[in-house]
Amino acid sequence: MPTPSMEDYLERIYQLIESKGYARVSDIAETLDVHPSSVTKMVQKLDKMEYLIYERYRGLVLTSKGNKIGKRLVYRHELLEKFLHIIGVEEDKIYADVEGIEHHLSWDAIDRIGDVLQYFEEDDERVQALRDIQRSYE
């Protein structure tokens, strides 16, 4: 199992490859706000664990195992953002909240949160009913 920090890297690498077609150490360092030497170290570790293949001058590619987990991690992040949004969390708090909780929930909890998200997405009246409760506390 990847550690929370490894999960952050795999999530970011997957996103970079999705959007740009490649993930360079410098891009990973910049978007995660860490020193490039830390990225190199972590990338070597992820290579050993067979999440990716890293070649110093050619960059890195995710293995199918790395790609699969990267995809799940991005899905999890996006699901939690949608969930916090629909339950009415202030927009400027959502990203940091997701970064804070995403590594600490079981996949079972993620799936159940997905159920609640679907429950609200299926019927806007449910969202409005929730807003009514929230307004009643103001």
Q: Is 42 helix (H, G, I), strand (E, B) or coil?
A: helix
Task: List 55's β-bridge partners, or say none.
Answer: 59
Closest distance to Mn ion from the beta carbon of 123 (Å): 28
When the beta carbons of 15 and 40 are compared against Mn ion, the nearer one is 15
Report if residue 77 touches Mn ion, rule: CB under 5 A: yes
Contact 83/113 with Cβ under 8 angstroms? Answer: yes
Closest distance to Mn ion from the beta carbon of 85 (Å): 15
Contact 81/94 with Cβ under 8 angstroms? Answer: yes
When the beta carbons of 53 and 89 are compared against Mn ion, the nearer one is 89
Closest distance to Mn ion from the beta carbon of 98 (Å): 6
Count residues contacting Mn ion (CB under 5 A)? 1
Contact 41/25 with Cβ under 8 angstroms? Answer: no
- 104 marked as part of a ligand binding site: no
Contact 7/72 with Cβ under 8 angstroms? Answer: no
When the beta carbons of 68 and 126 are compared against Mn ion, the nearer one is 68
Phi/psi at 92 (5° precision)? -75, 0
Find the binding residues for Mn ion in span 28-67 (CB under 5 A). none
- 99 marked as part of a ligand binding site: yes
Q: By Cβ distance, which residue is nearest to Mn ion?
A: 77
Contact 7/103 with Cβ under 8 angstroms? Answer: yes
Binding residues for Mn ion (CB under 5 A): 77
